[in-house]
Amino acid sequence: MEELALVISNPVDGQWLKHIDWNKEQIAEGINAIVADYQNLAYSEDQLQEAKKDRAKLNKLKKEIEDRRKQVKKIVNLPYDLFEKEVAEVSTALTEAISGIDQQIKGFEEKEKERKKTEILALFSEALGDLSEKVDSTKLFNASWLNASVSMKRVKEEIDAKVQTIRSGYEYISNLADDEKVIAIAEYEKSYDIGMAIAEVNRHRTVQKRLEEEKAREGHEKAAERLINKLEGKNVVNGMPVEEKRQEESLRSEEEPEEKKDRLLPVCAESRNEKTPESDDPKVMTSISVVINGETAGMLLDLIRKNNVAFRGVVNMQLLGTKAELMELVQNLKDAGIRIGGTKNAQN
């Protein structure tokens, strides 16, 4: 292809317009004199019309100067504007030729990227091994790997590092509880970020803990409510009148097999009214049966004291321990002044 170069023949080098000569000094001197006349001039309200005339005169002078400048610019730019238009016509033809070649080059490059992508996915499959069915490699694909400047050696190193990190994440999740595994895997497989998965598991644990605490609190409240109902002489069991409850238990017992009938039924409170010397309000004596352990025993006594209720009676308990341990407990109870009734030996 013949080498081409744009050559300017007119004007020749050295004859380009370098400066536009005009009567700058004269114009500048005249304007400075005019400005000096009006610089500190103050008009009164009576001189409003005169002020308007002076403003119009100065605006006219300014417009004449600006119009002349624009005229000179147009004349000077005329040959350049024509030159610019002619050059653009030539450049447009070249742009069309370049565009055709560019489309072909991009087609080759896209084909090469597809070939490289296929090779990279094969590397992923090989590196994942038994994780291939679990891991979506497209979520791990780095588009920059397709650049010609990135070698396959570098791509393989980065893939191996990613797969090792993912494998470690699955190993961590495998040690979680079954319900937590489900939550962790669902979150982990969104982006294979073990930190996000752990955060989701911790959130689940917090929610479960709150639910358990709420359930325990509601259980304590219901137990306290039943105790208060007993102390107030209300024959209520599980929110149901005792007689109705008994009928329900009786019907259920008739429907159940014999081996399931050996159960403890709720004990109805028996109450009687007594008046104390200190008050005309009757005191109610009631008997109740409650199931307690080491933790709830303290809560029961606190509730009794809080409601200013006297406590007396017999506590029936089933104890499990060695003979020596039981004998030591009996001696400690006697030493504490607690009366002990008969005992029975039970074997599992």
In a 13 Å sphere around the CA of 69, the CA atoms on its Cβ side amount to 7
**pLDDT of amino acid 274:** 46
**pLDDT of amino acid 268:** 35
Q: Cis omega (within 30 of 0) on the bond before 11?
A: yes
**pLDDT of amino acid 308:** 61
Pairing verdict, β 279-286 and 271-276? antiparallel
CB-based contact 124:160 (threshold 8 Å):
no
**pLDDT of amino acid 70:** 94
CB-based contact 176:201 (threshold 8 Å):
yes
* Residue 119, both tokens: 């090779």
CB-based contact 204:188 (threshold 8 Å):
no
**pLDDT of amino acid 260:** 42
**pLDDT of amino acid 264:** 37
The sign one gets for the Cα dihedral 237, 241, 242, 244 is negative
**pLDDT of amino acid 346:** 47
With DSSP H G I counted as helix, E B as strand and the rest as coil, what are the percentages for the chain, rounded to 5?
A: 65, 5, 30
Structural domain boundaries in the chain: 210-256+264-335
Cα–Cα distance for residue pair 272/33, rounded to 1 Å: 122
**pLDDT of amino acid 53:** 93
Q: What is the tens place of the pLDDT at every residue in 268-288?
A: 333 344 444 555 555 545 555
Which among 103, 159, 100 is positioned nearest to 135, based on CA atoms? 159
* Residue 267, both tokens: 């004990």
**pLDDT of amino acid 213:** 86
Cα–Cα distance for residue pair 69/75, rounded to 1 Å: 10
How wide is the angle at C-alpha 129 spanned by C-alphas 124 and 133, nearest 5°?
85
Phi then psi for residue 236, to 5 deg, are -125, 130
Give the pLDDT means over successive 10-residue stretches in the chain (348 positions): 72 78 91 89 91 93 93 91 92 90 93 93 89 84 91 92 90 89 88 89 90 82 65 52 54 52 38 48 52 58 61 59 71 63 49
The 3-state secondary structure of 57-81 reads HHHHHHHHHHHHHHHHHHHHHHHHH
Helix H or strand E segment including 275: strand 271-276
**pLDDT of amino acid 319:** 62
DSSP string, 197-253: HHHHHHHHHHHHHHHHHHHHHHHHHHHHHHHHHHHTT--EETTEEHHHHHHHHHHHH
CB-based contact 157:127 (threshold 8 Å):
no
Q: DSSP secondary-structure letter at 332?
A: H
CB-based contact 124:145 (threshold 8 Å):
no
* Residue 274, both tokens: 């007594």
